[in-house]
Amino acid sequence: MAVAAVRETLDRTPLLETVGLRRTFGGLVALDDVHLRIFHGEIRGLIGPNGAGKSTLAGLIAGRHKPTAGRILLEGRDITRRSGPERVLLGIAMAFQIPAVFGNLTVFENVAAAAQRVLLRRPLDFLDLRARRLAERVAEVLERVGLQDARDELARHLPYGHQRLVEIAMVLALKPRLVILDEPTQGLAPDEVAQLTALVRDLSPEATVLLIEHNLPVVLDVSHRVTVMEGGRIFFEGTPAEVEADPGVQRVYLGAGG
């Protein structure tokens, strides 16, 4: 089983590690002393009530914000000072909580903007890139998320669920090693949730996934391990079965109103 494979890697260097991560906004401590280790190929669920610091943690890992204190390591290498764009090139890519697409561009152009990032190596590539290779790569990713028929639509004309898929396609087109998904099933219809769950499951073990999700059945179904946060701290970590059985987790969730 995949869990066993993950167990095996536990003593190796994690793909991503945060050490004593802290982030404050003014006087508010959003995140405090967070030690998180995510291993190669695993799907890691991240749950917790609103305001637990999940999105803040994701933003710090992706490089959207700077931590107040602490370090972030990618395969043992300190990337705390690397900017967001630099981290993308190192293999960390993130889909936002509110889908962010380039509304006035076609679905193809949206995904091409991401796909070209990994093809741009020499300065001259910025002026002229082999169009065929780019188109193939885009087609491949669109097929994977099931949007091949929407290729020439303007992104802003797509329904909400499809915009989400466009953003996930953009993330995949970056060929990331660590994919961060911030509440990907939010606002989706049940059949779309099922499609997305299958998609996420499919990402591993090629890529590693950090999945922030409110939909508990989805997280417990798809994750190898689950980290539970509360009040800016990591509160529990274990397999989906352990999370389900833990009375503390139950209390946090029930206490938060569901």
Partner 1 sequence: MTGGRALALHLGVAAVLGVLQFVLPPFHHGMVTRILFFSTYAMAYNLLFGYAGLLSLGHAMFFAAGMYGAGLPVYYLGMGSGSAFLLGLGSGLLLAAAVGAASLRASGSAFPVVTMMFGQVSYLLTLHFNWITFADQGLVLVDRLLPLHLGPWSVPLTDPAVRYVLAWGLFTVVLWVSLWIVRSPFGRILVALREHEERARMMGYDPFRYRWVAVCLSGGVAGAAGAAYALSFGYVGNAFASILYSIYPLLWVLLGGAGTTLGPLVGVLLMTYAVDVVSGFTSAYLVVVGLALVLVTLGFPQGILGRVRARWWRWLP
Residues that bind partner 1 (CB under 8 A): 62-64, 83-86, 88-89, 93-94, 96, 100-105, 109, 112-114, 116-117, 119-120, 125-129, 167, 170, 174
- Compute the residue count for the chain: 258
Nearer to partner 1 among residue 138 and residue 243 (C-beta):
138
| Residue 172 and residue 209 in contact, taking contact as beta carbons nearer than 8 Å | no
Closest approach of Cβ 144 to partner 1, in Å?
18
At its nearest, how many Å lie between partner 1 and the CB of residue 65?
Answer: 11
Closer Cβ to partner 1, 22 or 64, answer by number: 64
Rank residues 118 and 220 by Cβ distance to partner 1 and give the closer one. Answer: 118
State the minimum distance, in angstroms, from the CB of residue 101 to partner 1.
7
The long-range contacts involving 21-30, CB below 8 angstroms and separated by at least 24 positions, are 21/57, 21/60, 21/67, 21/69, 21/70, 21/71, 21/72, 22/67, 22/68, 22/69, 22/70, 23/53, 23/56, 23/60, 23/65, 23/67, 23/68, 24/68, 29/232, 30/56, 30/232
Residue number with CB closer to partner 1 (82 or 214):
82
> At 212, is the secondary structure helix, strand, or coil?
strand
* Smallest separation, CB 67 to partner 1 (Å): 17
Alpha helices in the chain (DSSP H): 2-9, 54-62, 84-90, 107-119, 131-145, 160-173, 190-203, 216-222, 240-245, 247-255
- Amino acid type, 137: R
Residue 1 or 127: the one with the smaller Cβ distance to partner 1 is 127
**Nearer of residues 95 and 193 to partner 1, judged by Cβ:** 95
Go through 161-182 and write b for each residue having 16 or more CB atoms within 10 A of its CB, e for each that does not: bbbbbbbbbbbbbbbbbbbbbb
- Measured from the CB of residue 127, what is the shortest distance to partner 1 in angstroms? 5
Identity at 124, one-letter amino acid code: L
Instruction: Rank residues 1 and 124 by Cβ distance to partner 1 and give the closer one.
Output: 124
- Tell me if 194 sits within 8 A of 135, measured CB to CB: no
Work out how close the CB of 100 gets to partner 1 at its nearest, in angstroms, rounded to a whole number: 4
User: In Å, how far from its chain's centre is CA 78?
Assistant: 20
CB of 9 to partner 1, least distance (A): 27
